[in-house]
């Protein structure tokens, strides 16, 4: 998909989206669990992977600007709306997720 975006932009054109990114990888189990309350989490990329994918198709001047980093308190609020698996170590899961997920503006130039 990014290659097609690159193809249709004119030289100097700006790719700009608002997306969800991870700052570090999470276990597949945690990613799937988080995906229960929002589908965009399940498909989120690690920020460095996002940068690498954009660069691989030719984009440059890649910027990832966090607009909201999801901390432990926010994750607890979201998780309170879910039926969590009985075998989930909630403290360990919260430690893993704290600060790992953010909404961000992603920009790059063709």
Q: For 40-47, which contacts have Cβ atoms below 8 Å and span 24 or more sequence positions?
A: 41/101, 44/19, 44/20, 44/101, 45/21, 46/21, 46/22, 47/21, 47/22, 47/23, 47/104
In this structure, whether the domain defined by 13-109 belongs to CATH 3.30.300.30 is answered with no
Supply the pTM of this predicted model.
0.82
| Closest C-alpha among 68, 48, 57 to residue 6 | 57
Tell me the C-alpha distance between 84 and 77, whole Å. Answer: 13
pLDDT band per the 50, 70, 90 thresholds, residue 41: confident
pLDDT digits (tens, 9 = 90+) for 84-105: 778 888 888 888 889 998 999 9
pLDDT digits (tens, 9 = 90+) for 52-72: 999 999 999 999 999 999 888
Q: Hey, which residues does 16 pair with through a beta bridge?
A: 107
Token pair of 50 as six digits: 């996002």
């Amino acid at each position: 998909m990014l290659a097609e975006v690159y193809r249709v932009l004119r030289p100097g054109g700006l790719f700009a989206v608002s997306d969800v990114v991870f700052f570090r990888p999470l276990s597949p189990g945690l990613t799937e669990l988080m995906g229960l309350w929002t589908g965009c989490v399940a498909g989120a990329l690690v920020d460095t992977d996002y940068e690498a994918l954009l660069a691989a198709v030719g984009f440059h001047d890649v910027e990832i600007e966090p607009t909201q980093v999801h901390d432990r308190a926010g994750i607890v609020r979201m998780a309170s709306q879910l039926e969590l698996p009985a075998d989930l170590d909630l403290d360990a899961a919260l430690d893993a997720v704290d600060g790992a997920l953010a909404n961000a503006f992603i920009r790059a130039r063709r």
